């Protein structure tokens, strides 16, 4: 935000036209001291977080050690537990995941090096309209209400042969030479996330009764998104949300939250918190995998709340298919009792839908399916 509108009483902001509201830029370093939060950040009553802390959810904790060491009995056990979790709320924790603890703590710590920069420096990476990558501060320029209380830096990761330095190059080219070390850490982190995602895809394939390598092969050449979430402290946390209620439109999310806590899942009609566990990754399937599973597994509704004590950080790796690969559930999951639910689509079309036409929420895939069918009937 241009600092001047921090001195305007929030009520006067609503006098701005929607395009003027969208042109505001919020500076997190100012917002975190503001008791009078701008009204664009105040969510409707039915979506505000309860002021009392949400009850903790017992999330299945799956030890990948045996599976990753090639023990078939452990693989079977892990795939059964993954399947059970996906039949319920779609979230599970993985431990003994093979990702180096020092790499995780570096990836967490290095986020501060970026988000604590002056806004003008962060804006070197400013997300451009309609694009999924870059720096976004409360999504100004994108939404005019229900603004999330967060800053994000999103960048692309590709598992294709000729893209082994994509993340490193992004940081060097966008932020300059002094960010080369940061780029190397996030390149290594994304490589580790890629390996872990493909392992989890094997367990998902086994749990659905398709050929074990089916989904692993489908995602071999993925074009994924890495997102750094930075949630500044908020003096009125009961009025806003760090990330609003949504299902991830992507295929699989591997999330590492810091020790602050704030991730919540909607289960049995109530919001339940997922306790921080620095040695574990939180894994959930997204809309695209729900389509690939022909609706057998559901992508899950979740959100992030903020607090009035400290900032919160999370690392979210979003596994996405190669852009032009057709997303279509395997024959084994389609029969007369389970007709095909979703139209075939490509991830690039679905991603464009979320970046240019629809703010992802709990109905994104449904809205997208209708949009695709309308587009097809018009041509
Ligand atoms: C494909 C994506 C769109 C979002 C980032 C990835 C996966 C999660 C999506 C998102 C976080 C869901 C909630 C709304 C959103 C706008 C956000 O709060 O960031 C979504 C992301 C986005 O469109 O930038
Ligand atoms: O920060 C979190 O804990 C959740 C963020 C999230 O759901 C997302 O970025 O899609
Ligand atoms: Fe999410």
* 49: nearest Cα among 178, 189, 149: 149
Q: Exactly one of 124, 296, 312, 340 is catalytic; name it.
A: 312
- The pLDDT of residue 62 is 97
What token pair was written down for 260?
A: 């602050």
Q: pLDDT tens, 134-158? A: 999 987 778 989 999 999 999 999 9
First-to-last C-alpha distance (Å) of the chain = 42
pTM: 0.95
What residues are neighbours of ligand 3 (ion), with CB under 5 Å? 248
Separation in Å, CA 136 to CA 1, 28, 172, 316, 355: 12, 11, 19, 15, 13
Report whether residue 248 contacts ligand 1, using a CB cutoff of 6 Å.
yes
Q: Is ligand 2 within 6 A of the CB of residue 250? A: no
| Contact criterion met (CB below 8 Å) for 142 and 21 | no
| Start-end of H helices in 69-213 | 72-87, 101-115, 119-122, 166-175, 180-208
Residues of the chain with pLDDT under 50: 1-11
Q: What integer pLDDT is reported at residue 8 of this predicted model?
A: 37
Q: What would the DSSP string read from start to end of 268-290?
A: TTEEEE----TT-EEEEE-HHHH
**Interhelix angle 72-87/180-208, nearest 10 degrees:** 90
- Clarify whether 312 is annotated catalytic: yes
Region of 154 on the Ramachandran plot (φ > 0 left; ψ -120 to 50 alpha; else beta): beta
Question: What integer pLDDT is reported at residue 262 of this predicted model?
Answer: 98
Q: Is any ligand 1 atom within 6 A of the Cβ of residue 250?
A: yes
Kindly give the pairing relationship between strand 91-95 and strand 61-63: parallel
Q: What is the pLDDT of residue 3?
A: 36
Nearest CA to ligand 1 atom 8: 248
Ligand 2 center–CA 73 separation, angstroms: 33
**Res 14: pLDDT:** 56
Instruction: For residue 55, give both structure tokens.
Output: 């009850």
Helices 101-115 & 180-208, crossing angle to 10 degrees? 130
H/E element, 4: helix 4-7
Q: Is 354 in the pocket of ligand 1 (CB under 6 A)?
A: yes
């Amino acid at each position: 935000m241009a600092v001047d509108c921090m001195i305007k009483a929030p009520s006067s902001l609503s006098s701005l036209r929607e395009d003027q509201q969208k042109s505001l830029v919020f500076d997190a370093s100012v917002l975190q001291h503001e008791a009078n939060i701008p009204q664009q950040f105040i969510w409707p009553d039915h979506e505000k977080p309860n002021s009392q802390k949400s009850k903790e959810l017992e999330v299945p904790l799956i030890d990948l050690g045996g599976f990753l060491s090639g023990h078939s009995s452990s693989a079977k056990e892990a795939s059964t537990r993954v399947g059970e979790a996906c039949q319920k709320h779609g979230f599970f924790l993985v431990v003994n995941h093979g990702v180096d603890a020092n790499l995780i703590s570096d990836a967490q710590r290095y986020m501060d090096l970026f988000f604590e920069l002056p806004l003008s420096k962060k804006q070197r990476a400013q997300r451009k309209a309609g694009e999924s990558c870059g720096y976004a501060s409360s999504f100004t320029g994108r939404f005019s209400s229900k603004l999330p209380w967060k800053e994000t830096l999103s960048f692309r990761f590709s598992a294709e042969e000729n893209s082994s330095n994509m993340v490193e190059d992004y940081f060097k080219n966008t932020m300059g030479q002094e960010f080369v070390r940061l780029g190397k850490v996030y390149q290594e982190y994304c490589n580790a996330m890629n390996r872990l995602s493909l392992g989890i895809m094997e367990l998902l394939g086994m749990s659905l009764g398709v050929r074990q390598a089916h989904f692993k092969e489908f995602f071999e050449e993925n074009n994924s998104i890495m997102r750094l979430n930075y949630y500044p402290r908020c003096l009125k946390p009961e009025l806003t949300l760090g990330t609003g209620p949504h299902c991830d439109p992507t295929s699989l999310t591997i999330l590492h939250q810091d020790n602050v806590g704030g991730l919540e899942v909607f289960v049995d009609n109530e919001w339940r918190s997922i306790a921080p566990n620095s040695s574990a990754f939180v894994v959930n399937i997204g809309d695209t995998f729900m389509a690939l599973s022909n609706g057998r597994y559901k992508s899950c509704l979740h959100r992030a709340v903020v607090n009035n004590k400290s900032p919160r950080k999370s690392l979210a790796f979003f596994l996405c298919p190669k852009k032009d690969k057709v997303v279509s559930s395997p024959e084994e999951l389609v029969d007369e009792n389970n007709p095909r639910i979703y139209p075939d689509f490509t991830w690039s079309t679905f991603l464009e839908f979320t970046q240019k036409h629809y703010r992802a929420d709990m109905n994104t895939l449904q809205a997208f399916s209708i949009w695709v069918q309308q587009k097809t009937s018009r041509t």
